[in-house]
Amino acid sequence: MVALAELHTPAAPASTASIARPQRRARAWLWTPAIVFAGCLAAFVACQHELAAAIGRVQFERSGVLVVAAPIGASTARFLAVSLGTMVLARRRRHGWWLPAIALVAVPAFVTVDTFVFPALAPAPLGWGWLLSRGEFAAPQPALLWFGAAFDLALAFGPTIALLARRPRTPRVPRRLDRAAFAALGLAGFGVVAYAAVSATRTTGGSTSRELAMLAPAVLFAALLGAGGRWWPLFAAAFAGALVQDGTVMVALVGGSADISRAHALAAMRPAVFAAVLVGAWPLVAAGLRRLSDHPVALLLTCNGLNVADAVLTASALRVHEAAEVNPVIRTIGLPAKIVLVGIASALLARWRPRLLVVPIVVLTGVFIWHLAGIGMRP
């Protein structure tokens, strides 16, 4: 009887210390990436300081005048953006966490940014000290810039590699993109193209391909980050703003500059920040399309609303001779007949196959974005 009583005796409740111990073990792996991050940051700042000191000594020996040191603060801001940004992507289990940083470094090697600052086939290191390594009035050698870019990226990727190595092994649920996600990413990409076209039109001598190349790091980071968490717009905007290729912009924001004001520096960051927030919102657009596909009435109203907006904006552009109707059917029957025909066809689809209305909704949304780009190109 005693043994039976002992068998059925309930176990004593676990103490608070025993419950908190696994939580401490779960967070202990964060210390190693933090230590690696501090060491890599210190090594990067020390390297940029030595480059700045060497530049100062060379200029002093040549002309007897000590020039301004390399913008260490601007370089540190770029390093922090890349290092922390890649850690955030790796923490969210994004396999392409390295893509934005590689795009940032490799873009000037294939796209003409500034032939004096960036020689042909030369990357853009994170530290601006490498760009001034031969003095104030001489462009550096491409081989030195490739070495500097590799050195800076190795330091920036160090904390992320430590984070991945020390992260607890947990089963990963595969993340699959459905049709709504692909449609949202397509709309976001088309929006970036339209915005780059507007930005290139308003910039003297600019081209759409160059603007897209300059926006590539911010767009890749925002697409990988997605609209996850409450502060995702702030993360996307901070990463995009810190990675502007123009060094004078970061110098003006960090320490002030006589060549450019802080207001103009913020304006120079606007395209990258806007593109990052626009692309980062693709999960919200995908969720809206999924929710919309379950409501036939909402699909019908959205499709016809976008069609009416397209007709009104097209008529406005035709009236001021900014566009020409190339569709022979619409040119024959007119825009009012188009509204009626689309309304009848969409009503039939809403009755029999309502989810097919998502396709014209996505197409008409792209057309609406292009109309907005055309309005933005107006002088």
Question: pLDDT in tens for each of the 379 residues of the chain?
Answer: 444 444 444 444 444 444 444 445 545 567 888 999 999 999 999 998 888 776 654 443 443 333 444 467 778 888 998 999 999 899 888 888 999 999 988 887 877 655 445 566 778 888 878 876 554 445 567 788 889 999 999 999 999 999 888 776 665 555 666 888 999 999 999 999 888 888 777 764 567 777 888 888 889 998 888 876 677 788 788 788 776 655 555 555 555 554 566 666 666 777 888 888 889 889 999 999 999 988 999 999 999 999 999 988 888 887 777 666 667 777 777 778 888 898 999 999 888 888 899 999 999 999 999 888 888 776 6
The residues, any chain, with a CB within 8 Å of residue 207's CB and separated by 6 or more, are: 200
Could you give the CA distance from residue 134 to residue 267 in angstroms, rounded to a whole number? 31
Eight-class DSSP state of 114: -
| Residue 266 burial (10 A CB sphere; 0-12, 13-18, 19+) | middle
Angle at 196 between CA 190 and CA 197, to 5 degrees: 90
Could you give the CA distance from residue 74 to residue 273 in angstroms, rounded to a whole number? 17
The pTM score is: 0.77
Residue with tokens 């853009």: 124
Q: What is the pLDDT of residue 11?
A: 47
Q: What is the pLDDT of residue 203?
A: 64
- Token digits for 303? 């499709």
Signed CA dihedral, 251, 253, 255, 258: sign only: positive
* Helices assigned H by DSSP within the chain: 2-7, 16-28, 31-63, 72-91, 99-110, 142-166, 179-202, 208-225, 232-242, 247-254, 262-280, 282-292, 296-319, 328-333, 335-352, 358-376
| Contact status, residue 168 vs residue 29, Cβ threshold 8 Å | yes
Q: What is the pLDDT of residue 98?
A: 92
Could you give the CA distance from residue 199 to residue 271 in angstroms, rounded to a whole number? 8
Could you give the CA distance from residue 167 to residue 286 in angstroms, rounded to a whole number? 30
